[in-house]
Every structure is written in structure tokens, then in C-alpha cells.
Chains A and B, each alone.
Chain A
Amino acid sequence: MSRKISIDPITRLEGHGKIEIYLTDDGAVEETFFQIPELRGFERFVVGRPIEELPRIVTRICGVCPASHHMASAKAVDGCFGGEVAPLAHKLRDMYYQAHFIHSHLAHFYALAAPDFVLGPDADPSTRNILGVVHKVGLEIGGAVIDARGKAQEIQRIIGGRNTQDIWCLPGGVAKGLKPEELETIKPWIDGLYEFTQFSLQLFRDVVLADPAYVDLILHGPYTLDVHNMGVVDRDNAPNFYDGEVRVVDFDGDEICRYSAEQYADHVAEHVESWTYLKFPYLKQRGWKGFVEGIDTSLYCATPLARLNVADRMATPRATEAFEEMFATIGGHPSRAILANHWARLVEMVQNAETLQMYCADPEITGTEVRVVPQHVTGEGFGIIEAMRGTLTHHYTCDEKAICTSANLIVGTTNNNAPIQMVTKKVASSLIKPGTEPDQGILNMIEMAFRAFDPCYSCATHSLPGELPLEVRVHRSGEITHTFKRHC
């Protein structure tokens, strides 16, 4: 009788992601399924609401990345009113959003990713968390992380009135501008954040790159995937998190397509499987071909690494240096090494900090023309931005009274649903072989595969990014012979 391994918070409970791994009689992996067992229904229950309320409702899709939904929603709502936005408001929104990126990327890197690298993939699970990292690298660094993340949050609060659960964007702009004295307050914090990005890069060099075993894991382990890449770029093909065109390149670096927000439904479609609530986006022109790798696949990743893969350079100088260093180290551009996502996050944070510094030096940034009052309801809008966890699309329609009549959302993590399925199977297959017993280290190595995507199942379940609670159960002839459990 074949064995079944369930990676599940607790099977009789509901609401979290779970991984089912089925083994052949001799103990090799035959099939895996990564299931998302929940649906919230935002696309339905925003219908009937006044369209300008949506940017302050959809933030509750995710309290970890609310600004991503706020901004994508604001842009879609702008479109429902004809699309005119005060130029200064675009700058301020972009500025605000850089700080949000830093808050989220910092939390992921230090709290979720670092334990694997600093403590090792097979460390005792009870120490494999942010506190374990702090104990290893020192309380001082832990304090610096808390301080930097707090400042990134506070910068958003000062610019936009609140951080978690944003309210600031209105059709045609934003509700308040940035006062000169507020700018003076955040300037030194922003310089501090820039320094912290440099510190973090150095930490990555010292801890990860200095260890040949980690470098080997990144480059030669099972953590690679031959699927395509998606990300938003500016005219010069540098990453832009707030605005631009979506660019898709294959894993050899050749462009497959490039599209603007209103063309999204010509290029992306979503496949449905009955065994999970989360849909599987794919490149529509190629058609759904199943969970397959290779140059003909219709699947793509939308991750920090994918964003750097579709870019020719970063938008700022020091970030470009970090970009070049990264790709020189990991075997060239583009890269298929999904663990390099952790490094890519650090490179992106350099651009975030440099962009913030650029806005601080912009003499117009404290201006007062922050909103244009719309004159017409035009009825349809599209908002595409880069959420931390992938390209985020909001598409709304409304009636002549500006009441929402439809909403369609393709959320960052959803883009990566099929690649996460595939890499989970790939890593499990390479680690669980006939004659080997799954142990805690192997479980974590499987988890590292999807943690690299920083999956935001806040959007689909209750877990914070990468925080899937896990239970692994080994079944033999109908009996459970091993149980591995952990929660973070």
C-alpha cells in the first residue's frame, strides 16, 4: 500500500494551506498537491459599494501588504473617473509605496528567510525563528531590525495619515500633501534606511555567500524552475513598483510580451482546479498546458527575482551595482535559482531607499496640488502595480452613479500558484527517496521552496507570508508511523 504524507496544520481543521505528498510503494514521491482551502469573496462583496470606497475596503485582503491593494485599487478607481491624477500625487504615492516595500521586505528577510540561512535548514524548529536569529547575530542587530521596520511604517503614517489599513488615496490624487516639516522629520530616517539596506547586503555576503554549502544550495540544489518571468518596468526596462508596463520574458531572457494595465485580460488567464480555491494564472496566448516546465510552458513567476529577470538594470545607481553583483554571482541574467529571491529582495530595497532619497531632494515634493477633482464617471478602470509578492491587478467597472458593478483581482501570490506547486514537488522528489525517512530538516527544505516566493496566504488564508504552520504525517499501511509538526 502506498504511503501518504500530509503537510497540514492539522487535518481536521481548516483554513490554512496544506501539502499532500503521495509516495509510491517503494517510498518515492509520486504526486504532490498544494491546496489553498479558503476564499474570502472580496470580488463579490465590493459590488454595490460606491467605487471610491474600494481603496479603503480592499486593504483588508491583507494587513501585511495593504498599501499594495490600496494603490492598485486607487489606480483602478482613478480610471473609473477618466484617469486624470495630479502629477504630484503620483510622486507622493510612489514615495509612500517605497517605504511600504521596505517594511514588508525587511520583515520577510529577517523574520522568515534569515532563520534558514543564519541557523541552517535543519536547525531545531523551536529556535528557527526571528528570536533564534537575534540570539545568533546579536541583540543589537535585532534592535536595528525592529527600528528600521518601525521607521518604514512611520514614514507611511506621516506621508499618508496611517500605515496599516491605508486611507489616503482618493480619485484624482491623495487626501493630503507632505508638509515641509514632515519632510524634515523623515529625511534622516530615510538615510538610515539606506544605510540599513547596505548593512543587510553585507550581512548576506558574510553569512550566506561566505558559506560554499549555501551557495551550492542556491545554484545547484533542486530549487530551480524553468518557467517565465513577469514584472512591471519603466521605459528603460528598469523595475518600477508603482507604475509602468508589465513585461514578460522567458527564462533565456527573450521578451514574450509587454502590456499595459488595460490589456491584462489579453495576456493573462486563470485556470481553475476543483481541489483548491486558489486559481492558476498562465499566459493566455499560449493556453493552459498544465503544470509543466520548459521553453513552451505558459507558466511564469512574478517574484522579486522575476522582476529583476525582466529588467535590464535597476532604476537607481547603487541598486544597479547590487543587481550586477547578484547576477554575476548566481551565474548570469536571467536566473532560475528561486532561492536567489531572498537576495533580490535586498537589491530591491536598495532601489526603494534610493528612490525615497530622490524624492526627499525633489523641491516639488512638499507642494499642495495633490488632487484633481474628477468631472466625469467613465465607468472602467485598471490598476497594475508590483506588490511585494508579485504583479497585482485590480480591474473595476461602475455605473453612471459610480457604484461598483464588477471587480476582478489577480493577486501577487496567485501568479505563483502553479510554480509553487511544481517546485514543491521537485524539492520533495529530490529529498524523499526510497529508503530515506522524512525528517524535520527535509520538511524545512521543502518549506524553503515555497518560502522563497514569500507567499502571501494572508490573501487566501490567515497566515502571514511564509508562515504556514505545518504538520507532516507519514502513513504506512494505513497507520501513522511518523509525525512532524511545527508552527512557524
Chain B
Amino acid sequence: MARKKLQIAIYWGAACGGCDVSILDTNEFILDIDALADIRLWPIAADGKYEDVEEMVDQELDVAIMNGAVRNSENEYIAKLLRRKSKVFVAYGSCACMGGIPGLANLTSRDEILTTAYLDNPSLEPGNRTVPIPTTQVNGYELTIPRFYDRVYKLDQVVYVDYYVPGCPPAPEQSKAAITALAMALTGQAEAPPKGSVVGASDRALCEDCTRTKSEKKVKRFYRPWEIIADPDVCLLEQGILCAGPATRSGCGVRCPSSGIPCRGCYGRAPGVVDQGAKLLSAVASIIDSKDPDEIDAILDMLPDFTSFANRYSIPGSPLQRSHRQ
């Protein structure tokens, strides 16, 4: 008997489109997905409408794969709609899993964003005082635009997420593995991964997959990437270059350190790590070659704006979540 094709939807929230490009970058695998599943909604490649999803019975979809963070009410509406209509809901990419780069906006405020964009930059029309507002009357017509949320949320702050596929964007090979694993589970050909687990990534920390040489060396100073030409073979952290490898899950193919560029943690916290930022801080502290508090302070001063390194992709999902001001 022919097996019924899987019913899937792929959608985006507050995203850059890179996650969809990463799926396109699986190239001919897209045709495999097409053979395996009916793609009920995927704006980049297939026709489909919100209404089609709204008209589905609950849990009609086998899998919904959503990328992007939640920045406004549309993102939240779609996340909740897809959650209701699907048996399995997957957060795809760093924004969906952790808040991602757009989540850095949580370190500032909506008012500051509007001021910078419309009142305080060098290319504005001289004398401009206009700022976009939710409702405007133009020649008797009422025009409306949405007010965006004060902060960015990761998906599981809005809906229950069954599985997480991290990465900014997820490496195409890992996307294939994740989609294949889910398809096997849903068609009864393999056991389903435990609910709430990370799929399409490694169970190791990035450092364990990095081929750079490590020698337990301690450092007397840190270098910012602009200050040094990195040795191509030695652990970046042991060269004094901040690298999030010890705190970060592997699965990306070590693509940044292999190219001479330090990891910034886009695959999220490593297995067993509760807070990626705290883990990175402890890794940094452990390689400082000093016991003198003043000297340690001076060495740490070489790493300004540590918050944006500690949780580059995960501010909304970190214990901090956003800046808190008196």
C-alpha cells in the first residue's frame, strides 16, 4: 500500500531569509523533500496561503518548520497557528531557537531604534521631525502600520516547540540529517528523538570537533580579531582570541574557526551547558594566566562588550533576556 505523503509547512517569522537559502542550499535534496512530502506552505518555493492553513483541522500537518524570531504580532499569530495545526513543531535556525542576531535589539529599546533611524543620522532630510506612527491621515485616507513589539522573543517563549535545529543558518548537511530523521520517525521507520531535543546538530562542544591544536596554554592578554593575524593551526582561544567554541554546540562543520575566524556561538549552548554566556566567561577566566585581581581586571578589559559575545545569538533566550534599566 502506498504510504501517505507527509504534510509539511515551512515558514518564517522575523528572519533574514538565510534559513530558507540554507534549505535551498541542500540543492537536489529539495527534490527528495518534494517526493517525500506535500509542502503545504513554503512561500519561497510553493504556492500556499494562510487561509489554507487556517482551514486545516488541528494537527493536520505532520511537521511545521519555522525559522525566525518573534518581533511582532504577525510572527506570534503564525507561530500559534502552525503550532495548532501540526503534530510536530520545529524551531529552525538560531533566531527561532534562541532569538538570534535580531535579538541584539533587546539590548536597546524601541524608542532608541526609532530615534536613530528617523531623527538622528547624517543622511536625513534637513530639519526632519517626522517619525512613522501607527495611524496617519493622508488626503483623507487613513493609513495604518503596525507598532512592533518592545522586544524580541524566541519561539518557545510563545509556543511549545518539539524540536530545535540550531545554526545561523543551519549547515545544509545538518538540515538534511534533521529532516531525514524527523521523516523516518514520523513514518514509523525510526524512533522519534526525545521531545524538546536538538536535532541536526552534534552532541559535542565545538572545541571537540575543531582541529586546531590545544595545549592547555594560558594567556596574559587577549587580542581582538582586528589586532592580530591568527596562527592557522593553534587554538584561537589559546592565542588570546575570544572564541565561543567551549560553550557552543558543534554541528556546523567548524566553518568559522576552520577559516581563521573565531566562533560566535550560533549553534547555541553546548550539551550540558545551562547558560552559554556563563560558560564562555568561565572558559575565558580559566585561561587567564594571573592570580592578581588588578591584572585580571586589566586583561578582561581587553574584551569590551562581553555581553554581546557571551550571548551573540541568544539574548532573548538567556537569563538576561533584555537590558534592564533603572
A-B complex is real: yes
Contacts from A to B (Cβ < 8 Å)? 9-10, 13-16, 20, 22, 31, 33, 35, 37-41, 43-53, 56-57, 59-64, 66, 81, 107, 111, 125-126, 129-131, 143, 146-147, 149-150, 153, 160-165, 167-168, 170-172, 175-176, 264-265, 268-277, 279, 281-282, 288, 371, 373-374, 393, 395, 401-403, 406, 408, 410, 458, 462-464, 467, 469, 485-488
Given contacts A63-B17, A469-B43, whether A374 and B226 have CB atoms under 8 Å apart is: yes
Which candidate, B101-109, B190-198, B275-283, is the interface stretch facing chain A?
Answer: B101-109
A393 to B255 Cα, complex, angstroms:
28
Residue of B nearest to A35 (CB): B145
- Is A41's CB under 8 angstroms from B18's CB? no
Q: How far in angstroms is the closest Cβ of chain B from A42?
A: 8
Known: A20-B141, A33-B141, A272-B128. 20 other contacts (CB 8 A): A13-B50, A41-B108, A41-B113, A43-B113, A44-B117, A47-B116, A48-B308, A56-B264, A60-B101, A63-B169, A125-B47, A129-B45, A129-B47, A164-B21, A165-B18, A165-B169, A272-B131, A272-B132, A275-B145, A276-B145
Most B CB within 10 A of own CB, among A37, A38, A60, A406: A60
Residue of B nearest to A153 (CB): B25
Q: List 11 A-B contacts (CB under 8 A).
A: A9-B50, A22-B141, A31-B141, A33-B138, A35-B145, A62-B18, A107-B24, A273-B130, A275-B143, A277-B145, A463-B43
- Is B108's CB under 8 angstroms from A66's CB? no
Q: List residues of B (88-142) whose CB comes within 8 Å of A's CBs.
A: 100-102, 104-105, 107-108, 110, 112-118, 121-126, 128, 130-133, 136, 138-139, 141
Residue of A nearest to B258 (CB): A161
Chain B residues whose C-beta falls within 8 Å of the C-beta of A22 in the assembled complex: 141
Most A CB within 10 A of own CB, among B20, B21, B77, B264: B21
Residue of A nearest to B133 (CB): A274
Q: How far in angstroms is the closest Cβ of chain A from B174?
A: 13
- Is B25's CB under 8 angstroms from A164's CB? yes
A294 to B138 Cα, complex, angstroms:
24
- Is A66's CB under 8 angstroms from B16's CB? yes
Which candidate, B66-74, B178-186, B204-212, is the interface stretch facing chain A?
Answer: B66-74
Is the CB of B240 closer than 8 A to any CB of chain A? Answer: no
- Is B226's CB under 8 angstroms from A15's CB? no
Residue-by-residue, is B200-227 near A (CB-CB < 8 Å gives 1, otherwise 0)?
0000000000000000000000001111
A46 to B117 Cα, complex, angstroms:
13
Given contacts A44-B116, A45-B113, whether A50 and B12 have CB atoms under 8 Å apart is: no
Residue of B nearest to A374 (CB): B226
A418 to B124 Cα, complex, angstroms:
15
Which residue of A41, A175, A276, A401 is within 8 Å of B259 (Cβ)? A175
Task: Give the 6 A-B residue pairs with the shortest CB-CB distance, closest first.
Answer: A63-B18, A161-B259, A41-B113, A14-B146, A63-B16, A175-B260
- Is B68's CB under 8 angstroms from A45's CB? no
- Is B47's CB under 8 angstroms from A288's CB? no
- Is B123's CB under 8 angstroms from A485's CB? no
Which residue of B16, B122, B229 is within 8 Å of A408 (Cβ)? B122
Chain B residues whose C-beta falls within 8 Å of the C-beta of A63 in the assembled complex: 15-21, 169
Q: How far in angstroms is the closest Cβ of chain A from B158?
A: 15
- Is B224's CB under 8 angstroms from A50's CB? yes
Given contacts A49-B305, A175-B260, A408-B121, whether A464 and B48 have CB atoms under 8 Å apart is: no
Is the CB of B44 closer than 8 A to any CB of chain A? Answer: yes
Chain B residues whose C-beta falls within 8 Å of the C-beta of A168 in the assembled complex: 259, 261
Is the CB of B234 closer than 8 A to any CB of chain A? Answer: no
Given contacts A64-B17, A276-B145, A410-B123, whether A50 and B25 have CB atoms under 8 Å apart is: no
Given contacts A39-B117, A50-B224, A129-B47, whether A271 and B125 have CB atoms under 8 Å apart is: yes
Residue of B nearest to A52 (CB): B226
Chain B residues whose C-beta falls within 8 Å of the C-beta of A271 in the assembled complex: 125, 128
Is the CB of B49 closer than 8 A to any CB of chain A? Answer: yes
A279 to B116 Cα, complex, angstroms:
13
Chain B residues whose C-beta falls within 8 Å of the C-beta of A45 in the assembled complex: 104-105, 107-108, 113
Is the CB of B13 closer than 8 A to any CB of chain A? Answer: yes
Residue of A nearest to B102 (CB): A40
Q: How far in angstroms is the closest Cβ of chain B from A159?
A: 10
- Is B225's CB under 8 angstroms from A488's CB? no
A390 to B101 Cα, complex, angstroms:
24
Residue of A nearest to B72 (CB): A14
A201 to B228 Cα, complex, angstroms:
46
Is the CB of B8 closer than 8 A to any CB of chain A? Answer: no
- Is B132's CB under 8 angstroms from A464's CB? no
- Is A41's CB under 8 angstroms from B105's CB? yes
- Is B72's CB under 8 angstroms from A15's CB? yes
- Is A176's CB under 8 angstroms from B259's CB? yes
Q: How far in angstroms is the closest Cβ of chain A from B137?
A: 9
Is the CB of B304 closer than 8 A to any CB of chain A? Answer: yes
A to B contact number (C-beta, < 8 Å): 266
Which residue of A9, A52, A282 is within 8 Å of B224 (Cβ)? A52
- Is B121's CB under 8 angstroms from A406's CB? yes
- Is B125's CB under 8 angstroms from A288's CB? yes
- Is B105's CB under 8 angstroms from A64's CB? no
A271 to B146 Cα, complex, angstroms:
20
- Is A402's CB under 8 angstroms from B224's CB? yes
Is the CB of B46 closer than 8 A to any CB of chain A? Answer: yes
- Is B145's CB under 8 angstroms from A270's CB? no
- Is B113's CB under 8 angstroms from A275's CB? no
Q: How far in angstroms is the closest Cβ of chain B from A14?
A: 4
Which residue of B17, B139, B266 is within 8 Å of A458 (Cβ)? B17
Given contacts A37-B146, A458-B16, A462-B13, whether A44 and B113 have CB atoms under 8 Å apart is: yes
Q: How far in angstroms is the closest Cβ of chain B from A481?
A: 18
A56 to B168 Cα, complex, angstroms:
11
Q: How far in angstroms is the closest Cβ of chain A from B256?
A: 5
Residue of A nearest to B255 (CB): A162
Given contacts A45-B105, A66-B16, whether A269 and B125 have CB atoms under 8 Å apart is: yes
Given contacts A41-B117, A44-B108, A467-B44, whether A160 and B14 have CB atoms under 8 Å apart is: no
A275 to B139 Cα, complex, angstroms:
12
A393 to B121 Cα, complex, angstroms:
13
- Is A265's CB under 8 angstroms from B123's CB? yes
Residue of A nearest to B93 (CB): A63
Q: How far in angstroms is the closest Cβ of chain B from A308?
A: 25
Residue of A nearest to B22 (CB): A164
Is the CB of B51 closer than 8 A to any CB of chain A? Answer: yes
Given contacts A162-B256, A272-B131, A274-B133, whether A48 and B305 have CB atoms under 8 Å apart is: yes
Q: How far in angstroms is the closest Cβ of chain A from B40?
A: 11
Residue-by-residue, is B309-324 near A (CB-CB < 8 Å gives 1, otherwise 0)?
0000000000000000
A268 to B121 Cα, complex, angstroms:
12
Chain B residues whose C-beta falls within 8 Å of the C-beta of A163 in the assembled complex: 25
Is the CB of B231 closer than 8 A to any CB of chain A? Answer: no
- Is A146's CB under 8 angstroms from B28's CB? yes
Q: How far in angstroms is the closest Cβ of chain B from A266?
A: 10
- Is B71's CB under 8 angstroms from A81's CB? no
Chain A residues whose C-beta falls within 8 Å of the C-beta of B258 in the assembled complex: 161
A56 to B312 Cα, complex, angstroms:
11
Residue of B nearest to A143 (CB): B28
A427 to B264 Cα, complex, angstroms:
47
Chain A residues whose C-beta falls within 8 Å of the C-beta of B16 in the assembled complex: 59-64, 66, 458
A167 to B264 Cα, complex, angstroms:
10
Is the CB of B27 closer than 8 A to any CB of chain A? Answer: yes
Residue of B nearest to A58 (CB): B101
